[in-house]
Structure 1
C-alpha cells in the first residue's frame, strides 16, 4: 500500500517521497493531476500547502542544502535593492563541488571556505520552511566586494538603503569588510554616505 499524499511534507524531494514509501508511479500521477507542483527537478510542493513567499529559493535550497542565498537575490529579499535578477544567486563553499541547477535559473558563486559561514541568517521561504541567506550586512559587503560583477550602482544603492534602515550597524559592515578583504572600499563608501 502506498503512502498518502497528506503524509508528505509541504515541500519534498523525490528521495524523501521514496524513503516514505511513495512509488514513482504515484508521484507522477499526483504531478499530472495537479496534486503536487514540480518546483525543480526532483523537488515538489503539495498543491494544498500554504503558498510559498519565495518558491524559487525553496526549490534551490532543496537542490543545494549547503548553499546560501547571496548577492542581488539576498539584497532583494532584504529590500536593499529594486533590481530583479533573472537567476537565483547562491553561494557554495569553494571546498565543495559546485552544483548545477537549470530550473529555476540559478547562478552559483564559489566563496572562500574560511568566510563562507560568516553572516548567515534565515528567511521563511514558505510557512515553517526556512532557507539559509546571508544577513543584510554581509549582503551589502558582498555586493561591494563583487561590484565589478554586479555594478557599482547596485552596491552603493544597497549600502544606502542599509544605512538608512532601522537597526543599521556600520561597525558590523566594517567587521565583515575586514574579514572579506574589502575594508578600504567599504570604508570609503561609508565616508561618502556619512558626509552627505
Structure 2
C-alpha cells in the first residue's frame, strides 16, 4: 500500500538522518522492510558501502570512515596496533587492513570490505586504554597512544620494531603522551622490559 511505503521511507530517513553508517541489523530493528531498503538504494537515498553496511549519501564523509565501518562490522573490537598508531598521527604507515583487537574467545568476522586484520588480546590487555571517538556519527573504540605503543612493543613478532620506535619518538616529540603515561602503559601492558631502553634513550637524548 502507498501509505505503508511512505511511512517506511519516513522511518528510513529518520534512522539514517541520525547516523552516517547503519548495519542491516539496525535497519531491521528499526522496522525497515527489505523492499524499502532496495528501493532507497535504487533511488540513491541510501548507499551500500559494504556487506550489510549502509550510509546516508548526504552525510559528511570523515577521513576515518573505514574505522567507523570496521567498528560496525566488529562491535566488540577495538582499533589497535598500526591502525591506532596512524589514527593518532604517529606513523606514516597506512596498513592495507585495519587492525582490530578482540578477545581470545570472541567471534572473528568473515572477510569483507574494508578488510580487517584481527589480533587477539588476553582480557587483561583488551580493556586497557580504550578511548571512544566519534567518526562519521559512529562511536569508535580506539586504543590510546600510550596503550598502542605498549601493544606494538609487546607484539614485536606482528609488526616491525622500527615502526614502534618511530611511533614512540613521534609521541614524545608531538606530546601525544608524556614519558610517564607511556611508561605506565608499558608496565601494565606487559611491555616495560622491552620498551624501557628505547624510552630512556629518547627521553634522555631529547
Same fold, judged at TM 0.5 (above): yes
Residue aligned with 1:91, SS: strand
Matches of 1:169 and 1:96, distance apart in 2 = 33
Matches of 2:66 and 2:176, distance apart in 1 = 28
Matches of 1:178 and 1:81, distance apart in 2 = 23
Higher helix share: 2
Matches of 1:171 and 1:55, distance apart in 2 = 32
CA deviation map 1:4-24 (0-9, x unaligned): 231113221111111222111
Query: How far did 1:124 drift?
Result: 2.2
The CA RMSD over aligned residues, in Å, is: 1.6
The ranges of structure 1 where at least 4 consecutive aligned residues each deviate by more than 6 angstroms after the TM superposition are none
CA deviation map 1:106-143 (0-9, x unaligned): 101100112211000122211x4320000110111111
Matches of 2:22 and 2:142, distance apart in 1 = 20
Residues 167 and 67 of structure 1: CA distance in aligned 2, closer, same or farther (over 3 Å)? closer
> Could you say which residue in structure 2 is the equivalent of 1:189?
198
Matches of 2:100 and 2:58, distance apart in 1 = 28
Residue aligned with 1:133, SS: strand
Matches of 1:26 and 1:120, distance apart in 2 = 37
Matches of 2:32 and 2:102, distance apart in 1 = 31
Tell whether 2:34 aligns with 1:24: yes
> Could you say which residue in structure 2 is the equivalent of 1:7?
14
Matches of 1:101 and 1:68, distance apart in 2 = 17
Aligned residues: 195
Residue aligned with 2:36, SS: helix
Indicate if the aligned counterparts of 2:150 and 2:190 stay in contact, CA closer than 8 A.
no
Listed as ranges, the gaps of 5+ residues in structure 2 are none
Give the alignment's TM-score, normalised by structure 1. 0.92
- Flag the structure with larger Rg: 2
CA deviation map 1:138-180 (0-9, x unaligned): 1111111123321011100100011112353212222221222
